A and B are shown apart, each in its own frame.
Chain A
Amino acid sequence: MLIGVRKEQELADHLSQQQAPPQSYWSIVRQQFRKNRMAVWSLRVLYLLGFIALFADFIANEKPIYAKLDGESHFPVFRSYAVGLGLDSWEARFFQNSWHEHDYDYVIWAPIPYSAQTMDRKNRNYVAPGDEQDVPSTRFRHWLGTDQLGRDVAAGMIAGTRTAMLVGIVAMSIAALIGIFLGALAGYFGDERFSSSRVRLLFNGIGLILAYFYGFQARAFALNEGTFGWEVLKSLLIIAGIMVLVNVLASWLKRRGIWAQPVTIPLDLGVMRLIEVVNSIPGLLLILSIVAIIEEQSIFYIMVIIGLIGWTGIARFIRAELLRVRNLEYIEAAQALGYSEWRIIARHAIPNALTPVLITIAFGVASAILMEAFLSFLGIGVAAEEVTWGSLLNLARNKFSAWWLAIFPGLAIFVTVTVFNLLGEGLTDALDPRRK
């Protein structure tokens, strides 16, 4: 290991002596990106959206940020985090009366003094933004109107921002992980470079069947009846244990020379077929069918499913890039130095192939947000009390005269999707080598 590090160091030193580039690759890219004014602006809007998503609780909340009640100071918004974690609990008076009804000595409200779920009984049945509203002062006006239950649309939009950002991030992280892994396997090893001993292949096959059996089949009752997350974790541990055991056994047998003949596995072919299968299924229909069979509705399932089918573009990019990179001299040098294949892939090949993936991710986030918005628009896969842009937009279909429900959430979806599309375009231009 130590020798390996030193070798790498030497190699790096040697390379840097040979060519000291006046400008790094990234500074060129940044420079190119800055020239694109639309892209720069969309990046700023993205920062704003990220800020709203991160501090949503402080922007729209029925609880005061700071309140002085009967001489005591309270920080209800901060405290709600502790309550959420089970570290603290509210005194009786805080859940007996609503937050707006207390007689505070001094109070600082969030800019929008409503939560997404707060039902303002006095302003029910679609109060328009311009209508006369039954509120104590302009401070409590519903600037974007309310829905049938008296929920503030502006607060719903803020909560929706958080959901949308979360969908983009979670779905694309899953997609990127799968895509980079499979794409790298296919691209680096191709059809001919990956070989394994017969015994390992056989044992892994048996191991997979056993792992499925002991992980899921034999534990079906526990998985159905127990705490789901915890039981899944146990199952995964069992599966990992079986696979490790099987591989250790296979290595041992291989050293003994039993069935040690190498077999070449066409990884590229396999991954490409998989991509073809995933691509040829209509994504929306697949998501709908999967959501239809999940009884418990939650936005997280949607994120995971979008991630699970959205990796093909990333895998293709990485594969194409690695097919090129794997024949470059520096990879050959690393191979000649005797590094393990996995180390070369992770530390030398993938880092050089990641840039084009950024483009796919930017576009992917846009389509993930769009997909989630459409699903919650149809009322599919989101719990009834969750407020998202899509679910707000859906309300407009029940009440045609509520124009504010049709315009504002849709505008938010549009702006977010456009921002990510513009970023994707900007990156495409900035990374285009012809543009230098």
Chain B
Amino acid sequence: MLQYLLKRLLIFLPTLLVISLLAFGLSKMAPGDPVEQRNRDMGGGLQRELRDADRVYRETSEYLGLDKPVFYLSLSSAAYPDTLYRIFKRDERENLVKLIQLHGNWEAISRYYHAIRKADRGTEQLLGKTEAVRAVRPLIKQLYLAYKDERISSLLDKAASQTAGDSTLQATIGPSVAQLQETYSQLKAQASPGRLYIPDIKWYGFDNQYHNWITDFLTLDFGESFIDSRPVADKMGDALRWTLTMNLLAIFIAYLLSVPIGVFSAVWKDSTFDRVTTLLLFVLYSLPNFWIATMLVVFFTTPEYGMDWFPSLGLGDLPPEAPFWQRFMEAGTHLVLPVFCLAYGALAFISRQVRGGMLNVIRQDYIRTAWAKGLNAQPVIWKHAFSNALFPIITMFASIFPAVFAGSVVIEVIFNIPGMGKLTVDAIFQRDWPVVYTVLMLAAGLTMTGILVADILYAMVDPRVSYGKDKN
């Protein structure tokens, strides 16, 4: 048994590895630049000095660890340099990649890029000294993000004619603009797109983004949110409080009702009670919870239809210093509808499973024997039958377990409850990757643990099941 357990736990690792790669890969494919976004969100010194912008970008990028290579190795073509990750601005880097894909000679592209940077710095120093620079500077800035030949040529031509039209400009940045034109014509002349078709595997070593994240993760350091710099663990702790309250309450109610319903409708199979409950439960099971939730919100939380019985969305806004009882009531009334929505689905699902499990047991000979002995209904149903029908109930609990943690996206979003589901959805759309990674990994880990726990419980309830030697 212990051996089996160890084996199963070992299998967790490759699965988690695949999921971590998947989550990480997705985050790298996502559009948008987390550094820019963070700088925007943090605001700080709103109108930052322009010359500071680069430094701030670099600092934020270092702070978030995004200035490192992405992965241990990369498969790319020989045309790419292995130091591309050092171009720390994401949109500039992507533009350079496009230039490489078009022309294939990094040396010339690199010279051209440095010429842009030189011209950029030149115009920056002139800011405030002469008005004419205002016309040239945006042209140079646009060069960072231009890759099509016509576009670059027209930008260069415009920059050259603007510079030539003003004597101060001509004296200061004239040479760098000329150098820009020269490096660009060199770039085109020396194009070697053939090198794009030579595969090349590059090794970046262990100091990379993935390695840093996964080692931190394995030591239970989940990192900080990109958005508000709070530790991810703290954010999840807050969210988990509401999710756990809601889900545990809902599952408790669901089990409390569904076990007797399932058992009785199985014992009196084909009775009116059975027919009615089976049909009702089937309908409940098929009712989309986001529909019901929307209907409840529409009809019971607004005065439109004269049934304004429940408070509107969210959890109320009493200050934390309000008396406990008052806060408890406030949260309680806000949770009635969400818990109902969670409970009815679970109720339908669990009752159907309990009924199915009981039906399988009741057909057995030993139950007929128990009846034949003249035993009373109570011991036959609960002792002989139900204890053997516990099977599906136990496995189900293990499968519900991860959902308790991950929360219900549907309900939390509709009722605007700050639980795990809403946290995750918000994180995905704000591209707050540390939170997304953590939730995905923990949810996957918990799902696997749930399945494992179910299997072990299975063996404990039914002695016939063994995971001993005969298992492959």
Contacts and interface: CB of A to CB of B under 8 A. Distances in A.
Interface in A389-436: 393, 396-397, 400-401, 403, 406-407, 410, 413-414, 417-418, 421-422, 425
Q: Tell me which of B294, B431, B444, B447 has the highest count of chain A C-beta atoms within 10 A of its own C-beta.
A: B294
B253 interface: no
B197 A218 contact: yes
A231 to B, nearest CB: 13
A293 B439 contact: no
A418 B282 CA distance: 8
Q: Which 10 A-B pairs have the closest CB atoms?
A: A410-B291, A221-B101, A418-B286, A293-B30, A280-B447, A280-B444, A400-B302, A401-B304, A406-B298, A213-B199
B291 A393 contact: yes
B22 A393 contact: no
A217 B15 contact: no
Nearest to B450: A280
A424 to B, nearest CB: 11
A279 B451 CA distance: 11
10 contacts: A221-B98, A285-B436, A289-B26, A289-B436, A370-B288, A393-B291, A397-B294, A401-B302, A401-B304, A418-B282
A414 B425 contact: no
Contacts of B30: 292-293
Contacts of B299: 403, 406
Interface of A: 191, 209-210, 212-214, 217-218, 220-221, 224, 273, 276-277, 279-282, 284-286, 288-290, 292-293, 295, 366, 370, 373-374, 377-378, 393, 396-397, 400-401, 403, 406-407, 410, 413-414, 417-418, 421-422, 425
Contacts of B413: 378
Contacts of B282: 418, 421-422, 425
B283 interface: yes
A293 B31 contact: yes
B448 A280 contact: yes
Given A378-B413, A401-B304, A403-B298, A285 B428 contact: yes
B429 interface: yes
Given A281-B22, A293-B30, A414-B288, A221 B102 contact: yes
B376 interface: no
Among B14, B286, B440, which residue has the most Cβ atoms of chain A within 10 A? B286
Contact of B29 (A282, A293, A374, A418): A293
Interface string B14-46: 110011001100100111000000000000000
Nearest to A224: B98
B240 to A, nearest CB: 15
Contacts of A214: 197
Contacts of B295: 406-407, 410
Nearest to A413: B288
A265 B300 CA distance: 60
A328 B339 CA distance: 51
B410 A374 contact: yes
A278 to B, nearest CB: 10
A284 B197 CA distance: 38
Nearest to B287: A414
B153 interface: no
Given A293-B29, A293-B31, A284 B409 contact: yes
B343 to A, nearest CB: 18
Contacts of B14: 273
B294 A421 contact: no
Given A277-B19, A280-B447, A406-B295, 10 more contacts: A218-B77, A220-B101, A273-B14, A282-B444, A285-B406, A289-B26, A393-B290, A393-B294, A403-B305, A410-B291
A374 B290 contact: yes
Contacts of A393: 290-291, 294
Given A210-B199, A288-B428, A414 B31 contact: no
**Most B C-beta atoms less than 10 A away, residue of A191, A212, A282:** A282
Contacts of A284: 409
B440 A421 contact: no
B364 interface: no
Interface in B54-111: 75-77, 97-98, 101-102
A288 B425 contact: yes
B205 to A, nearest CB: 21
B424 interface: yes
A292 B426 CA distance: 11
A293 B18 CA distance: 19
Nearest to A213: B199
A301 to B, nearest CB: 14
Interface of A is mostly: helix
B256 interface: no
A418 B304 contact: no
Contact of B19 (A212, A280, A378, A421): A280
A400 B428 contact: no
A269 to B, nearest CB: 9
B298 A418 contact: no
Contact of B286 (A273, A279, A293, A421): A421
B444 A410 contact: no
Contact of A213 (B77, B286, B424, B445): B77
Contacts of B102: 221
A231 B440 CA distance: 33
B326 interface: no
A330 B440 CA distance: 46
B196 interface: yes
B11 interface: yes
B73 to A, nearest CB: 12
Nearest to A220: B101
Nearest to B363: A434
Nearest to A417: B286
Nearest to A394: B294
A284 B290 CA distance: 14
Given A276-B15, A418-B283, A413 B291 contact: yes
B297 interface: yes
Contacts of A285: 406, 409, 424, 428, 436, 439-440, 443
A293 B288 contact: no
Nearest to B28: A293
A295 B424 CA distance: 20
Contacts of B443: 280-282, 285
A284 B429 CA distance: 14
Contacts of B305: 403
A414 B282 CA distance: 12
Nearest to B26: A289
A295 B197 CA distance: 28
A393 B292 CA distance: 11
Contacts of A413: 288, 291
A289 B448 contact: no
Contacts of A425: 282
Contacts of A209: 75, 199
Nearest to A284: B409
A370 B287 CA distance: 10
B285 interface: yes
B413 to A, nearest CB: 7
Given A276-B15, A276-B448, A292-B30, A414 B291 contact: yes
A281 B444 contact: yes
Contacts of B402: 282
B272 interface: no
Nearest to B297: A397
B75 A400 contact: no
Contacts of B19: 277, 280-281
B472 interface: yes
Contacts of B440: 281-282, 285-286, 289
A33 B298 CA distance: 40
Given A396-B294, A400-B302, A217 B444 contact: no
B141 to A, nearest CB: 23
Contacts of B286: 366, 414, 417-418, 421
A149 to B, nearest CB: 20
A422 B409 CA distance: 26
Given A281-B444, A285-B424, A292 B197 contact: no
